[in-house]
């Protein structure tokens, strides 16, 4: 077992080939991007496919607040802790989106002593996956418009494919397309989504291999004829070209944590507007190459974890062995009614009031039949009385719980959590099952999620959504799973309703058929697929010094 001193003495990154050796890979299995990052070649999965799977551990969380939850930090720290306990652990994460990094987060590679490195590369251009996805998406748009301009042989009447960019840019939410200055015949309204909310991102993350990627790209619906007959990328004849652009982006990326734990970082879909999980290939590789694959799903368990269970696991034939639900005392106090400015003050009463949010997430994870443990992600402002109150509540209700201090102590601060996870995986059987059947109607599936997971009383469908359900059923898409697009801050579709709201209605304003990805997106409330920048974006604090080192990228 490694000591803190040994880790401190070895805090420099090592050559990525050394990390690869830890999990049985050679230089021939890698496509090197410098000394500290590499892509894992296509042939590796073929070679290891008969390996026994390790344990699959999902890290999720309560509803996020501006106070921060540190889910990625806990995910990384847990993998480091498992490694300290002599388990071959691999962390499988999503790639950060440049838009939020420059806008709000300022970095998304973990924090403190639980980080994935090289952090600067990861948060900026990394290995170019985001750029490839953006280019592939927009090449489809360019081809559609050129097809229309050149005579429209497919009789396209209505285009539904949107452009994308890996930035937060509210001015691009709605744009006007005009294919010719000489005529208005080709004028239409259009818009951009952020790259991580694009269907190309989802397709890349859910594809099992290159052939599956090509098939999924081909069935993407981009437009309709006047009689509502769908037109796909395959109808355009460019599925091969799009696959070619994404060929290298499909390869999972190998990096390392601060404690030299292997990290496979690949794909980056948002969980409030997309399915919020890293790639299927990355997760499966981690399972084949390690004893424990520790992965995460974005935002609260009502979003990322639900989609992980109902979409990713179902499609990829995965069976999670345990779930970690991250909770912070700061966030629980906010759910209990405390303003962000008052979070540094001890308030056990507010903490107890906010526990209803954690309680609902626990109930939800139990509905999927997967055993869980609550992780208290400790902040320096948490008092002993607050920590003890949370632990006492968990003990009273029979919920396994562990204090987690990985931000401050790295893997050493996560050993208590790691031991709980090992115990659960070894002694408690996972009876994972999705919460709805694919044979149910679109309406029934949405209502199941809204009522069972969110706690809604009713679901209201707009006229547009009702018409779309009829059309999607006629097209044979009603057997696809549902990807809910909802605010991350609340169980409801109103971000102001914290805690555990009740008596509310979820409004479905629009449906989008992501047939290539293999799900139906249901847009709720006022959720947006292109975020904007805050008044003081994180980029205002960013720069580069004389030696080329990034400043302000944390």
Which residues are identified as catalytic? 71, 73, 94, 105, 271, 299, 379, 407
**Paired strand residues for 145:** none
149: CB partners within 8 A, 6+ apart = 179, 180, 186
CA 62, 63, 68, 70 torsion: positive or negative?
positive
Helices (H) and strands (E) in the chain, counts: 21, 25
Beta strands (DSSP E) in 311-415 are 322-327, 372-377, 401-404
| 491 within 8 A of 497, measured Cβ to Cβ | yes
CA angle centred on 269, ends 57 and 540, rounded to 5°: 110
SS3 sequence of 42-96:
CHHHHHHCCCCCCEEEEEEECCCCCCCCCHHHHHHHHHHHHHHCCCCEEEEECCC
CA 193, 197, 199, 203 torsion: positive or negative?
positive
Helices (H), 106-232: 119-123, 129-149, 199-206, 210-218
| 407 within 8 A of 258, measured Cβ to Cβ | no
Number of Cβ within a 10 Å radius of residue 402: 20
Long-range interactions of 338-347: CB distance < 8 A, separation 24+: 340/65, 340/66, 340/67, 343/67, 343/381, 344/381, 346/383, 346/385, 346/386, 347/386
φ/ψ (deg, to 5) at 69 = -115, -30
Q: Residues 291-326, buried b or exposed e (16+ Cβ, 10 A)? A: bbbbbbbbbbbbbbbbbbbbbbbbbbebebbbbbbb
Residue 409 has which token pair? Answer: 């102590």
Q: Residues 134-158, buried b or exposed e (16+ Cβ, 10 A)? A: bbbbbebbebbbebbeeeeebebee
Q: How many residues does the chain have?
A: 554
Using CB atoms within 10 Å of the CB of residue 120, give its burial: 0 to 12 exposed, 13 to 18 middle, 19+ buried: middle
Q: Rounded to whole angstroms, what are the CA distances from 355 to 218, 324, 330, 358, 420?
A: 46, 16, 11, 5, 21
Using CB atoms within 10 Å of the CB of residue 459, give its burial: 0 to 12 exposed, 13 to 18 middle, 19+ buried: buried
Q: How many CA atoms lie within 13 A of 417 on its CB side?
A: 34
Q: Rounded to whole angstroms, what are the CA distances from 479 to 444, 449, 469, 503?
A: 11, 15, 11, 29
């Amino acid at each position: 077992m490694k000591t803190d001193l040994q880790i401190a003495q070895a805090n420099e990154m090592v050559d990525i080939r050394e990390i690869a050796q830890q999990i049985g890979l050679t230089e021939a299995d890698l496509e090197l991007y410098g000394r500290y990052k590499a892509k894992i070649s296509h042939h590796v999965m073929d070679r290891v496919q008969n390996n026994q799977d390790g344990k699959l551990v999902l890290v999720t969380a309560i509803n996020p607040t501006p106070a921060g939850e540190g889910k990625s930090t806990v995910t990384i720290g847990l993998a480091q802790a498992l490694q300290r306990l002599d388990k071959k652990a691999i962390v499988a994460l999503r790639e950060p989106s440049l838009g939020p990094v420059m806008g709000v987060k300022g970095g998304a590679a973990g924090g403190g002593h639980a980080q994935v490195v090289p952090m600067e590369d990861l948060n900026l251009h990394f290995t170019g996956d985001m750029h490839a996805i953006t280019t592939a998406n927009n090449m489809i748009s360019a081809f559609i418009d050129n097809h229309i301009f050149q005579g429209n042989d497919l009789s396209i009447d209505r285009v539904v494919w949107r452009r994308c960019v890996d930035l937060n840019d509210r001015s691009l939410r709605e744009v006007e397309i005009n294919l010719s200055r000489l005529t208005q015949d080709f004028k239409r309204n259009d818009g951009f989504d952020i790259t991580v909310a694009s269907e190309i991102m989802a397709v890349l993350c859910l594809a099992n291999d290159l052939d599956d990627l090509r098939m999924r790209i081909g069935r993407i619906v981009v437009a309709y004829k006047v009689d509502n007959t769908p037109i796909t990328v395959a109808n355009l004849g460019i599925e091969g070209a799009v696959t070619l652009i994404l060929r290298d982006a499909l390869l999972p990326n190998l990096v390392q944590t601060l404690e030299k734990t292997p990290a496979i970082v690949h794909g980056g879909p948002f969980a409030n507007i997309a399915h919020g999980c890293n790639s299927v290939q990355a997760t499966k590789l981690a399972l084949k190459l390690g004893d424990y694959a520790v992965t995460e799903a974005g935002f609260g368990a009502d979003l990322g974890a639900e989609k992980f269970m109902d979409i990713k696991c179902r499609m990829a034939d995965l069976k999670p062995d345990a779930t970690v639900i991250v909770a912070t005392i700061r966030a629980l106090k906010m759910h209990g009614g405390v303003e962000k400015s008052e979070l540094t003050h001890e308030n056990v009463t507010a903490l107890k009031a906010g526990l209803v949010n954690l309680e609902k997430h626990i109930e939800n994870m139990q509905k999927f039949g997967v055993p869980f443990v609550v992780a208290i992600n400790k902040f320096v402002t948490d008092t002993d009385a607050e920590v003890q109150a949370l632990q006492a509540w968990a003990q009273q209700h029979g919920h396994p719980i562990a204090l987690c201090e990985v931000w401050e102590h790295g893997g050493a601060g996560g050993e208590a959590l790691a031991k709980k996870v090992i115990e659960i995986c070894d002694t408690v059987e996972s009876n994972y099952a999705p919460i709805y059947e694919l044979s149910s109607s679109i309406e029934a599936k949405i209502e199941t999620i809204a009522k069972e997971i969110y706690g809604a009383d009713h679901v209201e469908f707009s006229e547009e959504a009702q018409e779309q359900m009829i059309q999607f059923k006629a097209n044979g898409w009603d057997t696809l799973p549902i990807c809910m697009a909802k605010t991350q801050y609340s169980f409801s579709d109103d971000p102001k309703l914290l805690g555990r709201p009740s008596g509310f209605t979820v409004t479905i304003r629009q449906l989008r058929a992501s047939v290539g990805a293999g799900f139906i997106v249901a847009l709720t409330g006022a959720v947006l697929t292109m975020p904007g920048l805050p008044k003081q974006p994180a980029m205002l604090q960013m720069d580069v010094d004389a030696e080329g080192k990034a400043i302000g990228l944390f």
